[in-house]
Amino acid sequence: MSVYAVVNPATGERLATYPTMTDADVETALAAAAGAFRGWARGATVEERAALVRRVAELHRERREELAAIVVREMGKPLAAALGEVDFAADITEYYADNAAAITGDSPLEILGEGTAVIRRTPLGALLGIMPWNFPYYQVARFAAPNLVVGNTIVLKHAPQCPESAAAIAQIYADAGFPEGAYVNVYASNEQAAVMIADSRIAGVSVTGSERAGSAVAALAGQNLKKVALELGGSDPFIVLSTDDLDTVIEGAVEARMDNNGQSCNAPKRFIVAEDLYDAFVEKFTAAMTACTMGDPFAEDTVLGPLSSLAAAERLEAQVSNAVAQGATLVAGGKRDGAFYEPTVLTDVTKDMDVYREELFGPAAVIYRVAGEDEAVALANDTTYGLGSYVYTTDPEQADRMASAIDAGMVYVNCVLADSPELPFGGVKRSGTSREMGLLAADEFVNKKLVRVA
C-alpha cells in the first residue's frame, strides 16, 4: 500500500491514495530538474522568472477556496486558518517576484586597491525540498519562490499525508507556465529521498520537519558535501514580566498557542510568568483555552480541529499522561477523542520531568512561575531548541536586554503571529541552521561569487 494517502483526521476516513514513485520515476524526476536548470538559469531572464513566480501567487488567490478545502481534509486545519495559509503563501510568493532585482543583483564591495569588486549571486542547480504536513502551502512558498527567482530548479517531496495539496501546487506551477522540470513534485519514499540527496544532480537540500528527520538528512547531505538548510522543531518561550493589560496578553497567548491546532513549530509552548502575575495568568489563560470551540474543521466557529492524525493525538496524550504521572499538575484538559485533543494546561513542571525538555505539538501548554528577569532568561534558554520567543513587558530597556539574552532565532516583543514575507524565519541550536523568508532566504542556495576587476 502506498504511504501517500489522504486520511481525514476528523473522521478517520481514507479519502484517496496516491502511488509512491518507482525507482525509474526517481531517475525521470532528477533528469527533468537537472535538464531544465541551464535553460531556466541562463535562458530565462530574471524578469521572466519573476513574472512566472508572480503568476503562481495569482493562482493561489484564484484557487484559495479549493486549496483551503484540501488541507482541511488532509490534516484537520480549521477552514479560516486554511484560507489564511493560502493567502500568506500567495503574499510570500509575490514578495519574491517583487524583489527579484534585489535578490539577484550584484552587491558592490569597498576594496583597498584599485579597480572594482562585487558579489554576484548565481544559482547552484536542482534543489531537493523535503516539506512537512503542517503548512503545505506556506512551507513550499518560502522555499520554492526565492530559489526559482534566483534560477534554481525544484524537486519537492511533501509529507505522505499531503499528496492532494502537493498535486495542487504542482498543477499551479504547470498552469503558471513554468518549463517542464523547473518544479517537479515527487511522491518519494524516505529511501528514495536518500538516493536523491546522494545524487550529483541535486545541488542542495532544504528540510522543514522534526529534529530526527533534519539530523538524518543533514548527515547524508554532509557525506555528499551538499549544502543543507534546516528548519526544525521548537519549544518557544512566552515570557510575561509586566503588562498594563493582562487580558490582551492572554488573548495573544491563546491565539498563538492554538495556531494550526497547536501544531506550529514557532508557537509558544512554555509560558514563563512573573510571580506577581502568575495566579491571574493561570486562571485567565486556562479559561480562554478551554473556551476555544473544538469540532468540525469546516465549521465557521471552530477554533480547534483534530490533530493531523490519530498517531499525533495519541503521542500528545502519552506526553501529557506521563507528565502527570511524574508529578505535573493537570489544570485543564488532557482528554482525547479520536484525533481530537482537548485544550490542555499543565503547571508544576520541574526539570526532572520529561515534558520539561519535550516539544508539545498540539493544544497543550506548560506554565512556569519565575521571580524575575534573570530567572526568566535562564528558564527560557534551558532547552535544546532555539526557534522563536515572545516577551511581554512595559519596560523598553528590559525588552532590549531580553532580546539580546534569549538564545533564539527570533524574538517578538509584545506581539504574536507577526510573521511577514519580508521577515527572516529560522532558529539556532537544534531548531535549525538557516533562514527562510525575507531577503536572507534567497542567499541560502546561491554561489556568492566574487568578481574582482583590476
Q: Annotated catalytic sites, by residue?
A: 231, 265
CB 282 within 8 A of CB 274: no
Q: C-alpha grid cell for residue 116?
A: 572594482
Helix (H) or strand (E) holding 219: helix 211-223
Nearest of 321, 343, 319 to residue 333 by alpha carbon? 343
Can you tell me the distance from the alpha carbon of 318 to that of 298, in angstroms, rounded to the nearest whole number? 27
Number of neighbours of residue 1 by Cβ within 10 angstroms: 7
Q: How far apart are CA 157 and CA 294, in angstroms?
A: 31
Distance of alpha carbon 366 from the chain centroid: 22
Q: Which residues pair with 154 in a beta bridge?
A: 127, 183
Cell 544559482 sits on residue: 123
User: What cell does 275 get?
Assistant: 510571580
Residue type at 297?
Answer: P
CB 333 within 8 A of CB 342: yes
Residues 6 or more apart whose Cβ sits within 8 Å of residue 193: 128, 130, 157, 217
Look at the chain and count its residues: 454
Any idea what DSSP says for residue 40? I
